């Protein structure tokens, strides 16, 4: 609501253009109607921003790429992979394998694996209900591998920690995770500390004081600053950033 009010205030102050910089796009997981009588929150938020008078949106790692189609204005969709790939490379892991914690993230995992020249594994999971996992299996070989799990967000940490524990059970040497948006609600920190995850690397798209020594944060400030500068100067953004999603 505060952002909407700021947009409206800028519009009424005769701003030539209004760009909403939203590192984390709220309600992104409500991007479809999976069952009757449920809202499509991502579409509602996009309508509200448009109605308030925004001319452009700048955000990072949307839960689903199609959310960009909800907007009637240009969307600059940035990827944390620009930061994560450099960090993963610096670790010099001897037997790197990229993993997706679910089937939906397989495209993202394949994009990372292609750039890092590594193998890919995927976790198949069945949910009993929201944030509650039933059965999970690893599709692929992780024995003797240094596994890096890639995801767009981590909420309660249930999927992430269960996937890490399962990979260690299947012979993985180590398991790390890179997640863009660190929601970390409920017992997330407790689950992390009690899991086989060696390290969870996140960005600061959601301001937080982390309560676990396993969490390491990477700032997106410079990334967004350079992109904003390019937009204001009418310079190409795609020429500057790796296209891998």
On the 0-12 / 13-18 / 19+ scale of CB atoms within 10 A, 178 is buried
**Distances from the Cα of 138 to the Cαs of 42, 77, 171, 217, 240, in angstroms?**
31, 30, 11, 27, 35
pLDDT at position 124? 87
Joined tokens for residue 3: 């952002």
Please give the pLDDT value at position 116.
96
Instruction: Report the candidate in 160, 170, 167 with the shortest Cα–Cα distance to residue 214.
Output: 160
Of the listed 11, 125, 187, 214, which one is catalytic? Answer: 125
Average pLDDT over residues 87-92: 97
Query: For residue range 221-236, what is the model confidence (pLDDT) as tens digits?
Result: 999 999 999 999 998 8
CA distances from 204 to 31, 60, 85, 221 (A): 23, 11, 17, 8
Report whether pLDDT(243) > 80: no
- How confident is residue 81, by pLDDT bands cut at 50, 70 and 90? very high
Residue 244's pLDDT is 46
Structure tokens at 29: 């997981």
**pLDDT confidence tier of residue 241, bands split at 50, 70 and 90:** low
The pTM of this model reads: 0.91
Query: What element of type H or E holds 146?
Result: strand 146-154
Provide the pLDDT for residue 236: 86
Q: What mean pLDDT is predicted for residues 182-201? A: 97
Whole-number Å distance between alpha carbons of 139 and 161 = 17
Distance CA 183, CA 185 (A): 6
Three-state secondary-structure class, residue 184: coil
Query: Which residues touch 78 (CB under 8 Å, ≥6 apart)?
Result: 58, 59, 60, 61, 220, 223, 224, 227, 241
Residue 204 has pLDDT above 90, yes or no: yes
- 8 Cβ partners below 8 Å, 6+ apart? 52, 53
Q: What is the mean pLDDT of the chain?
A: 92
Which of 32-41, 140-149, 234-243 has the largest mean confidence? 140-149
pLDDT single digits (tens) 130-189: 555 567 889 999 999 999 999 999 999 999 999 999 999 999 999 999 999 999 999 999
Is 97 in contact with 145 (CB distance < 8 Å)?
A: yes
- The Cα 242–Cα 78 span in angstroms is 10
208 a catalytic residue: no
């Amino acid at each position: 609501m505060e952002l909407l009010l700021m947009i409206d205030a800028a519009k009424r102050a005769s701003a030539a253009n209004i760009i909403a910089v939203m590192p984390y796009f709220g309600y992104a997981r409500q991007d479809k109607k999976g069952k009757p009588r449920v809202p499509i929150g991502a579409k509602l938020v996009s309508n509200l921003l448009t109605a308030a008078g925004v001319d452009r949106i700048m955000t990072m790692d949307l839960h689903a790429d199609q959310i960009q189609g909800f907007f009637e204005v240009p969307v600059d969709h940035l990827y944390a992979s620009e930061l994560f790939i450099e960090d993963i490379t610096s670790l010099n892991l001897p037997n790197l394998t990229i993993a997706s914690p679910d089937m939906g993230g397989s495209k993202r995992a394949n994009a990372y694996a292609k750039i890092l020249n590594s193998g890919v594994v995927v976790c198949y999971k069945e949910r009993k209900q929201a944030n509650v996992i039933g059965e999970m299996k690893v599709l692929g070989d992780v024995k003797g591998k240094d596994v890096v799990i890639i995801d767009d967000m981590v909420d309660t940490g249930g999927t992430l920690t269960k996937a890490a524990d399962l990979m260690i059970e299947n012979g993985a040497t180590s398991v790390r995770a890179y997640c863009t948006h660190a929601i970390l609600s409920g017992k997330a920190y407790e689950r992390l500390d009690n899991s086989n995850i060696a390290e969870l690397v996140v960005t600061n798209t959601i301001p937080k004081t982390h309560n676990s020594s396993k969490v390491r944060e990477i700032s997106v400030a410079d990334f967004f600053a350079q992109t904003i500068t390019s937009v204001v100067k009418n310079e190409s953004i795609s020429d500057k950033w790796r296209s891998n999603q």
